[in-house]
Amino acid sequence: MAVSIKALPGILPDHEIRRLAAAGMIKPFREDIRQAGKISFGLQPFGYDVRLAPELLVLRHDASFVDPKRLARHHYERLSPRRDGTLLLPPRAFALGRTIETISLPHDITALVLNKSTLARSGILVHTTVLEAGWSGTITLEITNLNHVPAVLHPSEGIAQVLFFRGTAPPEADYAARGGLYQGQQGITPPKVRSK
């Protein structure tokens, strides 16, 4: 019995990501974009590098503690681009950002968001997060400046890589069917906890 290559489980290669992007998985979709003086983004051999949107929410330093069940937008300070278009993340600061791209995952594909090596080598950490099968929205990014000096972030350039994985079978209920709290998010979304 012949098995279709595109139906096999595992990490998705560039041609499969391109095919799914054409069906709406990544909007806007770009081929591998490498320009002098810019952090690359777009299609990679086994992933897709997403871009940073031009805004950050920086966690305020005057909080006495951080409780993920109680964090709200007022616990963050909005950081807008400087005159040169860059964002300046203070030393040892934590911020939420978002991607320019909207991701809409099919019911049999889940994804991991990982740091780009260019940022990691600069002491800028984009935390690993999971995008569940069936999830859709812009990705809220969790970014930490590990340095003792401010870190410059470059909107509209690469910020993280997304790896896509097909499961051995579709789940019984994907993220959308389970009524996930972050389904359809647009913009930067602070942590949420179900109220009932």
Which residues are designated catalytic? 142
CA distance 33 to 181: 33
Q: Are the C-beta atoms of residues 173 and 120 closer than 8 Å to each other?
A: no
Q: Are the C-beta atoms of residues 156 and 54 closer than 8 Å to each other?
A: yes
Q: Are the C-beta atoms of residues 59 and 93 closer than 8 Å to each other?
A: yes
Q: Are the C-beta atoms of residues 122 and 62 closer than 8 Å to each other?
A: no
Question: Is the backbone of residue 83 left (phi > 0), alpha (psi -120 to 50) or beta?
Answer: alpha
Burial environment of residue 86 by CB neighbours within 10 A (0 to 12, 13 to 18, 19 or more): middle
CA distance 106 to 116: 24
CA distance 60 to 86: 20
Tell me, what DSSP letter sits at residue 33?
Answer: B
